[in-house]
Structures are given as structure tokens and as C-alpha cells.
């Protein structure tokens, strides 16, 4: 199979985990006889420095001419004082909007082998397997006005949480379709006791639910959801929610796995062009130190192979290899402690590649999980 992949490393550890992803994809191409053509594009702070634009037109063209987009992360303190339009994050938000990547799937699976690194008790984590479906092109991150002004002589600022019915309908539909393939439960998270947009969200969720009688719908207020994720995460199957609520809840949910460096994501559009990126950001505190956990990015590659290219076997091989590496006690610094060796980013990628190439290791782990 021949596919073209747009690679947007971005800033900070985005560049380091992207190197790992490319390494992994080359090894998959060799092992399974595929051809992946890579084309790099600028985005974020690096793009501002080189072109004055956080999302140059050329990058958008590269993405549109590709079969899938892989992104690292954007942002960093160097650009934090920039005006709104010249922030690295603006580049990513514009890319999501331009490609209409409305459905951000953020799976959260707790691995027993690294459960000791979660602040939660092992019995709370055992069997956690949930999917956050975050609306990605509307809500509070996109509503207008979003600006500073003066009211009655005083400085003020406004952001707007805007949705039209269709935007809500399509994300809820996506959540129900996904729940049908899973444990058939959707928890729609909102703030309907305060926000009008949430009351419309709830109404639409009820309407969509009537078309899926085999799937249970539960409504939950976002403050309660934040608490329930820690108290009893196993109750959740699919969570569907507004853009910012999903952003916050998914970082919180990452601690069910032990590290933010564990969560992958897929950002899906109605077309065949989708984007894959880790949930984490550019982690300026560890950037350039070869210590970032590359697993979130490698699992994002697995999501890309499965969703965009229907390469189920290859996606499974990555996921099983990651499990195998953790079960053999190897971890990056974010998950390590005095009982566990701490691997560099590059060493972790090597371990996963080796486990993937080792049919025996994969067979053992398949047997353990069957």
C-alpha cells in the first residue's frame, strides 16, 4: 500500500515524538511492505519564526494533498506574549477548522503494568477503557466575539460559546455510532443548569438518542463528570462533550493511565482526510532533553493506520508492542520510579520497534489478552 502522510512536528517535544513516529512508520513500511511518502510542513511557533504565520498556506496545501496528517504539538513560552493571531495555538485551531476536523476521539485505557504510576488506587483503575469524543471545531474555542474591549471605561474581555444545531447533531451522532461498537453507553457532558448552549446540546442529544434505542444515554453536568472520572471511571464508555470541556476532561483522564504522555487522539472530518496527534502539548519543561514519552504519539500512529488506512493488523501490532514493553518493566521518565529503569524517548521507540518485530513477544501478549 502507498500512502502520503503530512508530518507537522511543531514545537518542543512535538519534534522529538514526531521523530519517533517516523522511525516507527519506516519500520512498519519495511516489515509489512508498505510505502509511506512523508512531506513535512511548518506549524506553530517554528512557523511564526520562519514565515510570520502559525499556519502557512503551504502547510495547508501539503495537508490537503495527503492521505492523513500527523501532528506533534505546538506552543511554548517564546510566543506566549504574542498577539492572539500570532500565537502557535492559533495555527492548530485554524488547521482543525480548515480541515473540518470536528470529532476528536481521545481513548483512555489503563494498563495494569503501569498502574502504580497513577495517583489512583489499582482497584479503581482496573479495566478502565473509555473514549472521550470532544467536539473540535466549535464551542468556546471558536465563538465570536473573542476579544478585549472597554466597557464603561474599564478594560474587559469576552469569549463566546456558540453552537448551531447541526454542529451538535453530528458530534452526538458520531458518539452514538462509536458506542454501538463498544459497550453501548453514551454520557453526554454539559453545563445545562447554567448554559443555554448546553440546554440545546441536551435537547439534541435526546433527539439523536431516539434513533439508537440499543444505546443508553446519560446526561451529566461537567463538574460532576470531573469528579466521577476520579471516583469511578469504570462507569464511562463513551463521553461526548463540548470543545473546552473535552480538552480539560481528557487531560484529567490521562492520569487514569499514569501520564499525559500516554493519550493518543484522532481528529476526524466528514471527508477522508483526518489528523492524528497526541493529547499532550509541547511540554517546554522537558523539551530537547530526549525524555518525553513517545507512546501517545505512537498510539496516534496506530489510530491513523486503523482509521485512515484500514491497516488493522499493523495498528494492533503497535498497541500490543507498547503493552509488551510496559509489561517488561521498561518506561520513560514520566512513568519511572526507583524500581523501574528510565528510558529516553529514542530508547522507548527502539523497544517498541523491537517488540513489534519480535513475533514471539506479540504472540505472548496476544495470548495474555485473549
Ligand X SMILES: NC(=O)C1=CN([C@@H]2O[C@H](COP(=O)(O)OP(=O)(O)OC[C@H]3O[C@@H](n4cnc5c(N)ncnc54)[C@H](O)[C@@H]3O)[C@@H](O)[C@H]2O)C=CC1
Ligand Y SMILES: CC(C)CC(=O)C(=O)O
**Residues contributing to the site for ligand Y (CB under 6 A):** 89, 92-93, 247, 279
Q: By the 8 A CB rule, do 106 and 124 touch?
A: no
Q: Is 87 annotated as a binding residue?
A: yes
Active-site residue identified among 53, 90, 102, 141: 141
| Catalytic-residue membership of 251 | yes
Q: Between 66 and 85, how does the x/- string for binding to ligand X read (CB under 6 A)?
A: -------xxxx---------
Active-site residue identified among 247, 276, 323, 330: 247
What whole-number distance in Å separates Cα of residue 123 and Cα of residue 336? 21
Residue nearest ligand Y (C-beta atom): 89
Q: How far is the CB of 71 from ligand X (least distance, A)?
A: 7
| Residue 263 binding: pick among ligand Y, ligand X, Mg ion, none (C-beta 5-8 Å cut-off by kind) | none
Q: How far is the CB of 287 from ligand X (least distance, A)?
A: 8
Site residues for Mg ion, window 208-247 (CB under 5 A)?
247
Vertex 19 angle, CA 296 and 356, to 5°: 65
> Within 181-311, where are the H helices?
196-209, 222-231, 243-254, 295-307
What residues contact residue 291 under an 8 Å CB cut-off, 6+ apart? 332, 333, 334, 342, 344, 345
- Pick from 54, 138, 139, 281 the residue near ligand X by CB under 6 A: 281
Q: By the 8 A CB rule, do 64 and 273 touch?
A: yes
The residue among 95 and 220 lying less far from ligand X, judged by its C-beta, is 95
Q: Is 106 annotated as a binding residue?
A: yes
Q: By the 8 A CB rule, do 192 and 241 touch?
A: no
**Maximum Cα–Cα distance for the chain, whole Å?**
72
Q: Is 83 annotated as a binding residue?
A: yes
Q: By the 8 A CB rule, do 86 and 246 touch?
A: no
Active-site residue identified among 3, 90, 191, 353: 191
The residue among 11 and 247 lying less far from Mg ion, judged by its C-beta, is 247
CA atoms within 13 A on the CB side of 41: 29
| Residue 93 binding: pick among ligand X, Mg ion, ligand Y, none (C-beta 5-8 Å cut-off by kind) | ligand Y
What whole-number distance in Å separates Cα of residue 145 and Cα of residue 143? 6
Binding of ligand X by 284 (CB under 6 A): yes
| Catalytic-residue membership of 223 | yes
Could you say which DSSP state residue 56 is in? -
The residue among 41 and 281 lying less far from ligand X, judged by its C-beta, is 281
What residues contact residue 307 under an 8 Å CB cut-off, 6+ apart? 266, 268, 274, 276
3-state secondary structure of 46: helix
Report the interface residues with ligand X, using CB under 6 A.
13, 73-76, 89, 92, 260-261, 277, 280-286, 292-293, 296, 334
* Annotation: binding site for substrate: 96, 106, 134, 223
- Which residues are catalytically annotated? 141, 191, 223, 247, 251
* Annotation: binding site: 76-89, 96, 106, 134, 223, 247, 251, 281-293
Amino acid at each position: 500500500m502507498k500512502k502520503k502522510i503530512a508530518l507537522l512536528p511543531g514545537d518542543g517535544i512535538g519534534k522529538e515524538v514526531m521523530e519517533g513516529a517516523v522511525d516507527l512508520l519506516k519500520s512498519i513500511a519495511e516489515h509489512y511492505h508498505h510505502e509511506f511518502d512523508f512531506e513535512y510542513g511548518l506549524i506553530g511557533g517554528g512557523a511564526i519564526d520562519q514565515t510570520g504565520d502559525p499556519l502557512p498556506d503551504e502547510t495547508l496545501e501539503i495537508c490537503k494533498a495527503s492521505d492523513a496528517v500527523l501532528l506533534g504539538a505546538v506552543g511554548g513560552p517564546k510566543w506566549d506574549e504574542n498577539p492572539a493571531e500570532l500565537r502557535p495555538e492559533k495555527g492548530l485551531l485554524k488547521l482543525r477548522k480548515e480541515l473540518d476536523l470536528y470529532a476528536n476521539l481521545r481513548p483512555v485505557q489503563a494498563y495494569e503494568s503501569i498502574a502504580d504510576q497513577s495517583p489512583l488506587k489499582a482497584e479503581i483503575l482496573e479495566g478502565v477503557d473509555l473514549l472521550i469524543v470532544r467536539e473540535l471545531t466549535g464551542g468556546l474555542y471558536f465563538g465570536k466575539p473573542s476579544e478585549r474591549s472597554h466597557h464603561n471605561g474599564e478594560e474587559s474581555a469576552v469569549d463566546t460559546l456558540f453552537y448551531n444545531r447541526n454542529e451538535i447533531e453530528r458530534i452526538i451522532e458520531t458518539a452514538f455510532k462509536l458506542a454501538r461498537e463498544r459497550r453501548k453507553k453514551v454520557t453526554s457532558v454539559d453545563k445545562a443548569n447554567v448554559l443555554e448552549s448546553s440546554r440545546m446540546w441536551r435537547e439534541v442529544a435526546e433527539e439523536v438518542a431516539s434513533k439508537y434505542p440499543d444505546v443508553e444515554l446519560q446526561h451529566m453536568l461537567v463538574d460532576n463528570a470531573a469528579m466521577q472520572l476520579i471516583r469511578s471511571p469504570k462507569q464511562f464508555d463513551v463521553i461526548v462533550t463540548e470543545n473546552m470541556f473535552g480538552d480539560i476532561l481528557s487531560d484529567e483522564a490521562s492520569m487514569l493511565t499514569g501520564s499525559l504522555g500516554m493519550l493518543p487522539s484522532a481528529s476526524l472530518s466528514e471527508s477522508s482526510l483526518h489528523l492524528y496527534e497526541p493529547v499532550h502539548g509541547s511540554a517546554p519543561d522537558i523539551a530537547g532533553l530526549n525524555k518525553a514519552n513517545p507512546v501517545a504519539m505512537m498510539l496516534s500512529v496506530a489510530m491513523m493506520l486503523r482509521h485512515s488506512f484500514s491497516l488493522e493488523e499493523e495498528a494492533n501490532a503497535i498497541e500490543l508492542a507498547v503493552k509488551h514493553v510496559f509489561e517488561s518493566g521498561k518506561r520513560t521518565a514520566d512513568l519511572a520510579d526507583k524500581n523501574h529503569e528510565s528510558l529516553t524517548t529514542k530508547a522507548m521507540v527502539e523497544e517498541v520497534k523491537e517488540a513489534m518485530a519480535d513475533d514471539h513477544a506479540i504472540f505472548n501478549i496476544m495470548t495474555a489478552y485473549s
